[in-house]
Amino acid sequence: MARAPAVTPVAAATTKLDLSNDPIIKGKAGAIAWYRDVMGISNIGMGLVTKATNDRTLPSYKISGAIWYSTVDLYNFIQRMRRTAS
C-alpha cells in the first residue's frame, strides 16, 4: 500500500480585521491595547504612540479633552513603518 505524500502547511491569515474610520479607540493606552490584543504586536509602547500623536504622524481626534483614534488610522500607521528588503 502506498503512503500519501506529506502536505506542507502554508501560512495564511486566519482572521480579517474589522477596521473603522470612526474614532472608537480612547486614549493612548487604548491604542497600545488595540495593537497588542487585536494585531498581536506587543512591542508598541507609550513613547511611540505619544511621539507619533504629537508630531501628527498618527492621526487622532480630540473629543471633549480626550484623544481618540480610528482603527483605520492605527492600522495605516503601523503599515507605514514597514521597511523594504534590500
The answer to whether residue 66 is domain-embedded is yes
Taking the C-alpha atoms of residue 2 and residue 50, their distance in angstroms, rounded to an integer, is 61
The answer to whether residue 15 is domain-embedded is no
Question: Alpha helix (H) ranges present in the chain?
Answer: 27-34, 46-54, 71-80
49: containing domain: 23-80
The answer to whether residue 38 is domain-embedded is yes
The answer to pTM > 0.85 is no
The answer to whether residue 11 is domain-embedded is no
- Cα distances from 24 to residues 6, 44, 45, 54, 66, in angstroms, run 46, 19, 19, 19, 12
The answer to whether residue 29 is domain-embedded is yes
Question: Are the CB atoms for 72 and 54 separated by under 8 Å?
Answer: no
- Structural domain count, the chain: 1
pLDDT per residue as tens digits for the range 27-73? 999 999 999 999 999 999 999 999 999 999 999 999 999 999 999 99
Q: What is the pLDDT of residue 37?
A: 94
The answer to whether residue 16 is domain-embedded is no
The answer to whether residue 63 is domain-embedded is yes
The answer to whether residue 51 is domain-embedded is yes
